[in-house]
């Protein structure tokens, strides 16, 4: 694609943002990455739990410069909208508050949107990520599979990248696969993304499934909490024979690594150095390693765990709508 040209794509985005001033920096980076998409139309809805004027103004003032016209892409239209849900019975229900945007606005008869993106406020989704989805969505469609992503974190202790949701190594050859463009597409053991992308066909399917409904989604994935179920999209809806989920990720059969364009960056990097949790302890280049000694996490002692819990209670200021 030539610099300065637009794609004939029109996107609606919902970003869940449980308001904390300390997380505004992540929201800005997420919105900035989206605003760099060279598309015809981009409407971003920030779905938040606050309605205080001063807090809403903080969001608007921070993000508004990103929506000013860019002469190089003068035909690209972008807008920022905020929806507030301050009286939810449970703060963890906020990730479900965007669903009406899909059924009532995105799929409305006169809508011209081509794609819907849901993403949490700390997951950076690049234009390369989006192009990867578009390309392989078409190639995988006939197989009822959907291209998926992996969240990564950077650990400045060793200057390496880690897979947030992959807990331990896994065997590539033990699972069914699809081969495209020299890559092997497989189910991952932990397919949580904290986001999903839908085209109109996928959206029409999604709104008719149990996964679209907060209560019925418990039947689909009872072990996932309510916030995680809000982000699972069509992952577990009627996967094809031999696959545990619709979501598949590409693996380079030579390096045994997933390519960078299928990674989405988890901006806080808060798990890579957290000794108490197993998340972000598997290196991005060792996910399918055959060497058992690459595992990089062991449970902390009870004393360490207790002290960290006490410190965490002192620092905590409300729930966080992501893992």
Among 43, 193, 205, which Cα is nearest to 133's? 193
Q: Which residue has the tokens 């009406």?
A: 100
Q: Is 37 exposed, middle or buried (0-12, 13-18, 19+ CB in 10 A)?
A: buried
Task: Report d(CA 277, CA 323) in Å as an integer.
Answer: 11
Residue 116 lies in a domain: yes
CATH code of the domain covering residue 64: 3.90.550
Domain count for the chain: 1
pLDDT at 299 (0 to 100): 55
The predicted model scores a pTM of 0.89
Task: Determine the longest span between alpha carbons in the chain, in angstroms.
Answer: 60
pLDDT of residue 303: 45
Q: Which two tokens stand for residue 63?
A: 């993000």
In a domain, 322, yes or no: no
Average pLDDT, the chain: 89
**48 falls within a domain:** yes
- Within a domain: 217: yes
Q: Determine, yes or no, domain membership for 323.
A: no
Instruction: Look at residue 298 in the predicted model and tell me its pLDDT.
Output: 56
Categorize the per-residue pLDDT at 273 as very low, low, confident or very high, splitting at 50, 70 and 90.
confident
Q: Is 11 within the bounds of a domain?
A: yes
Q: What is the pLDDT of residues 186-233, one digit of tens each?
A: 999 999 999 999 999 999 999 999 999 999 999 999 999 999 999 999
In a domain, 321, yes or no: no
Domain span holding position 226: 7-315
């Amino acid at each position: 694609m030539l610099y300065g040209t637009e794609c004939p794509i029109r996107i609606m985005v919902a970003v869940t943002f449980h308001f904390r001033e300390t997380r505004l920096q992540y929201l800005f980076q997420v919105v900035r990455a989206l605003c760099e998409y060279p598309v015809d139309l981009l409407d971003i809805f920030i779905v938040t739990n606050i309605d205080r004027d001063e807090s809403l103004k903080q969001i608007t003032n921070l993000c508004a410069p990103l929506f000013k016209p860019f002469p190089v892409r003068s035909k690209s239209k972008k807008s920022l909208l905020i929806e507030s849900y301050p009286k939810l019975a449970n703060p963890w229900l906020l990730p479900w508050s965007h669903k009406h945007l899909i059924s009532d606005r995105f799929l409305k008869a006169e809508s011209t949107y081509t794609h819907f993106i849901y993403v949490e406020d700390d997951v950076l989704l690049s234009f390369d990520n989006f192009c990867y989805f578009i390309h392989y969505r078409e190639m995988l469609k006939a197989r009822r599979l959907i291209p998926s992503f992996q969240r990564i974190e950077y650990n400045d202790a060793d200057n390496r990248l880690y897979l947030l949701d992959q807990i331990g190594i896994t065997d590539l050859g033990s699972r069914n696969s699809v081969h495209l463009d020299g890559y092997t597409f497989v189910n991952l053991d932990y397919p949580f993304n904290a986001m999903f992308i839908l085209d109109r066909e996928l959206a029409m399917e999604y709104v008719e499934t149990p996964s679209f409904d907060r209560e019925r989604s418990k039947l689909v994935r009872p072990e996932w909490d309510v916030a995680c179920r809000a982000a699972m999209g069509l992952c577990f809806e009627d996967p094809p024979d031999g696959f545990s989920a619709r979501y598949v990720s590409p693996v380079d059969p030579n390096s045994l690594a997933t390519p960078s364009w299928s990674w989405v960056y988890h901006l806080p990097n808060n798990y890579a150095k957290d000794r108490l949790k197993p998340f972000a302890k598997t290196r991005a280049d060792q996910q399918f390693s055959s060497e058992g000694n690459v595992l990089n996490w062991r449970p902390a002692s009870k004393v360490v765990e207790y002290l960290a819990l006490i410190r965490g209670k002192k620092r905590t200021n409300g729930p966080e709508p992501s893992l």
